[in-house]
A = this chain, B = another copy of it.
Amino acid sequence: MEKAALLLIEFQNDFLKEEGAMKGTGIWKRAREHKVVENTVKVAEAARKANIPIIHLPISFREGYPEISKPFGLIKGVIDAGAFKKGTAGAEIIDELKPKEGDFVVDKRRLCAFCDTELESLLRNLGVENLIIAGFITNWCVEQTAREAYDRGFKPFLLTDCMEALSDEEQKFAVEKIFPAIGEVRTSEEIIKEM
């Protein structure tokens, strides 16, 4: 696949460790059952072989979450859990997917990875048009980034076995009702063949 980049959204300890601050979401458990990390590691290796740039998109906040003046909803949940504090182990990217030389890391603070970041600018400079997307949570940060990518003229490829939602229903809804209208749906095996 030409003009592509692999976006890895929030593969961080707070989501993926049993003792992570976001353990209450159960993402760690569901991801383990569906081998999300193993699948994504394979995709990342294939991407590196194919010279497809990898962009890591961890979420993090400063001490005290000063970036959020009046928290409510989803982000209030993050704050209440004390999750994703910049500089803590919980905010670190998991060992299996640690950024390697040549990878890019772009810190995000919002659900959408384009909001307030250099992501679009970086993609333009790398000549990227196709976004292969994996990460968490399927119908939140992943979907929102894919929606915004669509609006900005990129083509998203959503890897169904490299992402996880809070429930089967939510995963299924995103994969069947949303993703086909703004991009293409792939398994990790399929995308590796296309790389």
Interface residues of A (CB under 8 A from B): 62, 66-70, 72-74, 104, 109-112, 115-118, 120-122, 124-127, 139-140, 144, 147-148, 150-153, 155, 169-170, 173, 177-178, 180-183
Which residue among A140, A169, A181 has the maximum number of chain B CB atoms within 10 Å of its CB? A181
This protein's copies in its complex: 4
- Could you write out 26 A-B pairs with CB less than 8 Å apart? A62-B104, A66-B125, A67-B121, A67-B122, A68-B153, A69-B124, A69-B125, A69-B126, A69-B127, A69-B153, A73-B180, A73-B181, A73-B182, A74-B182, A109-B118, A110-B151, A112-B151, A116-B117, A121-B153, A125-B153, A139-B178, A140-B181, A144-B151, A169-B177, A170-B177, A173-B177
CA distance A100 to B155 in the complex (A): 33
Residues of B contacting A182 in the complex (Cβ-Cβ under 8 angstroms): 73-74
